[in-house]
Amino acid sequence: AIVQIVKQTDLKVLICPEDRTQMALGKEILFDKLPDEVKDRVVWRQDYWLTDEALSVYVRSAGLFGNEMHSPIMCVGNGIPAIVCRWAEQTSKGNMWKDIGLSEWLFDLDDETQLAGIVPAVLAMAKDPIAAKAKVSKAQAILRERQSSALARVRLAVGH
């Protein structure tokens, strides 16, 4: 997906760790394996960053694709598209993407049949930001409705 983003768009790609355990991995398994002709538009962030710094980058981005849930949650909460790839050992947290109508942006890396859909989904997000942001807006509406419903039940339970 990184190679195709660089080749098919004018965008740059930032490779950054979601947590400290991934700092070296981003370079070793992603950046170092990229073809030289795309590396000038790919940045590898070697340092871990805090939430506020990460979010300040995400809100200026075309979107995110990754393997963890924290950054995608921050993105969608701020109107930024986010594609999530998961595997069995990561538990079922990724199911929340299905719950908020973003199942098209959830991929199971353990399911070989889903792998071919990742690059097209990332490219669609990057090439059609209006459609991608519309999907995020629908997900945010679902989230707001569910939050309102949950808070109404809490108010009822506590007698307010």
In a domain, 148, yes or no: yes
Contact 16, 49 (CB under 8 A): yes
In a domain, 133, yes or no: yes
pTM listed for this prediction = 0.90
Q: What is the pLDDT of residue 20?
A: 72
For residue 154, the one-letter residue type is V
In a domain, 96, yes or no: yes
What's the whole-number mean pLDDT along residues 105-127? 96
Write out the residue range of the structural domain in which residue 140 sits.
Answer: 49-158
Contact 69, 93 (CB under 8 A): yes
Question: How many domains in the chain?
Answer: 1
Q: What is the pLDDT of residue 129?
A: 97
Q: What is the pLDDT of residue 26?
A: 78
In a domain, 12, yes or no: no
With a cut of 80, say whether residue 24 has pLDDT above it.
Answer: no
In a domain, 22, yes or no: no
In a domain, 35, yes or no: no
What's the whole-number mean pLDDT along residues 108-133? 97
Which H/E stretch holds residue 108? strand 106-108
Residue 50 φ/ψ, nearest 5 degrees? -90, 165
In a domain, 107, yes or no: yes
Residues 6+ away with beta carbon under 8 Å from 150: none
Please give the C-alpha separations between residue 79 and each of 2, 39, 76, 113, 157, in angstroms, as whole numbers: 22, 28, 5, 29, 32
Query: How far is residue 149's CA from residue 142's CA, in Å, rounded to a whole number?
Result: 11
What percent of the chain is predicted at pLDDT more than 90? Answer: 76
With a cut of 80, say whether residue 29 has pLDDT above it.
Answer: yes
pLDDT digits (tens, 9 = 90+) for 59-104: 999 999 998 888 999 999 999 999 999 988 888 888 899 999 999 9
Q: What is the pLDDT of residue 64?
A: 97
Place of tokens 């701020």: 78
